[in-house]
């Protein structure tokens, strides 16, 4: 091992009100290093050292565009937050919140102590659930079933005018299906938002990243009291029955990523 200490910066995972969560022992953080507590202003930042060589501004900018690096980093970040969230209320920090040193992290805690405490209070004894809904048929109506009009000319049955008429009819059906699906998304959201303490609508995920062509019509997060898991499950079951043209997916429970924003973070 080198006698020279590698220059490092401080990666922050989350903020809690506990002095030092027990789960930190043996927990592996971003870059494989240990995780520790930085205490200031009655709050604790869960943090760890990462090498400046990989996490300085220029290196970070480069690394964040490397999918393998980003995935490993995001998973390590999330793993630590989940462990801490398993022991009590926590406010997750956005990926790549990096301070020069512990003093920098402590100063940030002190500066935002009031807002951080409020955020912890908002999410205490609550869980975040993700709901994603898709238009189950990418191209309604049933093209798979062979009802799509054939181009004219091959068989005598299809004149050009008949083809166009069928095409027009199909487009109208598609528009109607699209409208119905948007209405479904609104109804699903309204029902689930009614169960939740708070809700957030996120932009749809990229179909490329999601790996399929289904149109995402709802990408929402709901903050529910800890004892409402069953209510959510029941509501989703019921909604799935009412909206057969929509595919609904639940993710979670998550640490309250979507509900941790501090007031100034909402500014554009």
Partner 1 sequence: MTGPAMTGPAMTGRVVTGPSRALPAERVALVDLLDRVLARGVVVTGDVTLSIADVDLVTVNLRALIASVSTLAEAGGRK
Q: Interface residues with partner 1 (CB under 8 A)? A: 12, 57, 60-61, 64-67, 70-71, 74-75, 77-78, 92, 94-100, 104-105, 108, 130, 132, 134, 136-137, 200, 202-203, 205-206, 208-212, 219, 229, 233, 236-237, 240-241, 243-254, 257-258, 260-261, 265
Residues 11 and 29 sit within 8 Å (Cβ to Cβ): yes
Nearest to 133 by CA among 88, 168, 174, 182: 182
Query: Cβ closer to partner 1: 25 or 71?
Result: 71
Query: Cβ closer to partner 1: 11 or 24?
Result: 11
Query: Cβ closer to partner 1: 39 or 72?
Result: 72
CB of 26 to partner 1, least distance (A): 22
CB of 146 to partner 1, least distance (A): 16
Query: Cβ closer to partner 1: 20 or 213?
Result: 213
Instruction: Report the C-alpha gap between 90 and 109 in whole angstroms.
Output: 14
CB of 32 to partner 1, least distance (A): 18
Instruction: Report the C-alpha gap between 239 and 190 in whole angstroms.
Output: 11
CB of 158 to partner 1, least distance (A): 29
Query: Cβ closer to partner 1: 61 or 167?
Result: 61
CB of 55 to partner 1, least distance (A): 9
Distances (CA, A) of 202 to 78, 179, 220: 19, 20, 6
């Amino acid at each position: 091992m080198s006698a020279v200490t590698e220059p490092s910066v401080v990666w922050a995972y989350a903020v809690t009100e506990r002095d030092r969560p027990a789960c930190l022992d043996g927990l592996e953080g971003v870059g494989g290093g240990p995780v520790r507590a930085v205490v200031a202003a009655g709050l604790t930042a869960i943090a760890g050292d990462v090498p400046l060589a990989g996490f300085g501004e220029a290196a970070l900018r480069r690394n964040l565009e490397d999918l393998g690096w980003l995935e490993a980093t995001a998973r390590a970040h999330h793993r630590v937050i989940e462990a801490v969230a398993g022991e009590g209320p926590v406010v997750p920090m956005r990926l790549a919140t990096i301070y020069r040193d512990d003093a920098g992290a402590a100063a940030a805690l002190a500066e935002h102590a009031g807002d951080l405490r409020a955020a912890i209070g908002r999410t205490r004894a609550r869980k975040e659930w993700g709901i994603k809904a898709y238009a189950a048929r990418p191209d309604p109506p049933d093209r798979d079933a062979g009802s799509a009009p054939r181009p004219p000319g091959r068989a005598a049955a299809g004149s050009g005018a008949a083809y166009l008429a069928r095409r027009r009819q199909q487009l109208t059906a598609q528009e109607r299906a699209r409208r119905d699906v948007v209405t479904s998304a609104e109804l699903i959201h309204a029902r689930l938002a009614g169960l939740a303490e708070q809700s957030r609508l996120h932009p749809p995920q990229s179909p490329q990243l999601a790996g399929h062509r289904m149109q995402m019509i709802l990408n929402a997060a709901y903050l529910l009291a800890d004892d409402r898991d069953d209510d959510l499950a029941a509501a989703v079951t019921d909604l799935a029955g009412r909206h057969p043209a929509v595919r609904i997916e639940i993710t979670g429970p998550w640490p309250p990523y979507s509900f941790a924003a501090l007031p100034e973070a909402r500014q554009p």
